[in-house]
Amino acid sequence: MEIPRIRIEETDDICVLICHLIYSLGCPLSKNQLVEITSFEDAVNYFNLTKALEKLSGRLCEEIDVDGEIVYNNTPTGIKAARELGATLPLSVRDKLFKEAVRVYTRDAMQKKGSFLAVRYIKNADGSCTVGITVMDEFTARQKYFLEITAENSQKADLIKEKVKSDPRGFAKYLDSFFE
């Protein structure tokens, strides 16, 4: 028996989801990235996403140009919506789409910056944080590892983030040796 998928259909809910994803990542996202993220497991219909993007532009999100690409970034009202209404979205959808957002964003950021490691985290409702670490292969530019770590609180998540970023090559080398 197949487990039914939860889809987000209402435009207002999709607006909150977009604000939540941008807020949780701490980074703006392009329309193409949002399409890829929200289409993961068919969570959001493309046409409903387009309606939501039109509705939130200017009020909840602003369209800004970053390195020649138009991206959506939360306004103060969008941040408030993400904080206050993000928890109303189904937890399974929020978690899955956040993981997908980390994957898509870090993949694109690494390709632009020539970096091979990215670390992002999201605060959970219980105060813990989920830390996402992506390590790319420096030669093939393909994802080599994606780790998800649950930290007790944001201070621990910041500590993990700083330790990993302080020696990215050493961290990647450690993973290589651990998994060999």
Top pLDDT among 112 and 69 is at 69
pLDDT for the residue 61: 95
pLDDT for the residue 86: 87
Tell me the whole-structure pTM to 2 decimals.
0.69
Residue 62 near residue 50 (C-beta atoms within 8 A): no
**Nearest-angstrom CA–CA distance, 115 and 129:** 24
> pLDDT over 70 for what percent of the chain?
93
Instruction: Name the class of domain 1-106.
Output: mainly alpha
All CATH 1.10.10.10 domain ranges in the chain, comma separated: 1-106
Distances (CA, A) of 100 to 2, 21, 134: 22, 10, 12
State mean pLDDT over 44-72: 91
Q: Is 109 helix (H, G, I), strand (E, B) or coil?
A: helix
pLDDT classification of 141: cutoffs 50, 70, 90: low
Lowest mean pLDDT among 36-45, 82-91, 109-118, 119-128: 109-118
pLDDT above 70: residue 151 = yes
Distances (CA, A) of 124 to 5, 87, 127, 137: 22, 9, 5, 30
pLDDT above 90: residue 33 = yes
State mean pLDDT over 65-86: 90
* Residue 50: CA count within 13 A, CB half-sphere: 3
pLDDT for the residue 36: 94
Lowest mean pLDDT among 71-75, 95-99, 124-128: 124-128
